[in-house]
Structure 1
Amino acid sequence: MDFTKKGLIGLVLIVVGTLALVPGAAPDAATLAQLLLLPAAAAVTYGTYLVGTEGDGRPV
């Protein structure tokens, strides 16, 4: 895979967002972990958008 800078930033956001989602998914999660769920989901969403739009032209 040949990613541009935009695509690499997207990949980093996906990984960081996913790692931030894991602690908040537990039933006995701390309040801070629960508060991080929304920003973590936003990071995963924006990272997916960046990776998905980083190429030129139509998808194959």
Structure 2
Amino acid sequence: IILSLYVALAICPIQTHTSSTTIMPILLLAFSACEAGAGLALLVASTRTHGSDHLHNLNLLQC
């Protein structure tokens, strides 16, 4: 979805011959990178508080 938004924001100023919105795709990429970083930070924080390091609970070899 982000890639299609990036392409749309990159093509629209080219088709309308305006140069005022050429920064929009770069801002979209910056905000999506910040969103991904915040999501990963929340995932790590919740794993550290609610997760366990007991791998013996994960029994992949049992039927």
TM-score by length of 1: 0.45
Name which one, 1 or 2, has greater alpha-carbon Rg: 2
